[in-house]
Structure 1
């Protein structure tokens, strides 16, 4: 009976892959604010010293960094999951009965 229970446990399993979000949204905002402050202080110093082209490039850099932080925030809850369910040998039900976009049809392959 023990081996049957073990076989039943191995019949259905799932694997879930999630990103490692090491920063909370509040921490991410603080880090971004610190980077923006430092970058603007340095750019302002160079601008006051006569290198005025540093300031627009610092602005573009911060826009790109802000876009990257936004994308990371939007996808922080994403995950991928693979679920395997063992079917009985007499079960001939198709996995997906409708055609997928692109004309690919997926079935059970049981004949």
Structure 2
């Protein structure tokens, strides 16, 4: 019970780690991707097209009209997944808000 703040509900006293895995080698890349500013329409369009909006590996294996298996999305196993999704979102926001394009 010592992990919880009295009177604040069930919130732990320790702050959550920003990344679920401790890949200290990848932390500089994560910080670089998180801090990357989108200020060029060509770069924003390239990132929007290059980073998929949904996991391209998720599939249903269907044979003779029956679902045999489901391959789950494996993108969450990518240690830079959150940063890439955030970068794609910032690119879309730049294109819509600054450039006035409709996506």
Q: Indicate whether the TM-score tops 0.5.
A: no
Higher fraction of helix: 1
Of structures 1 and 2, the one with the larger relative CO (CA 8 A, separation 6+) is 1
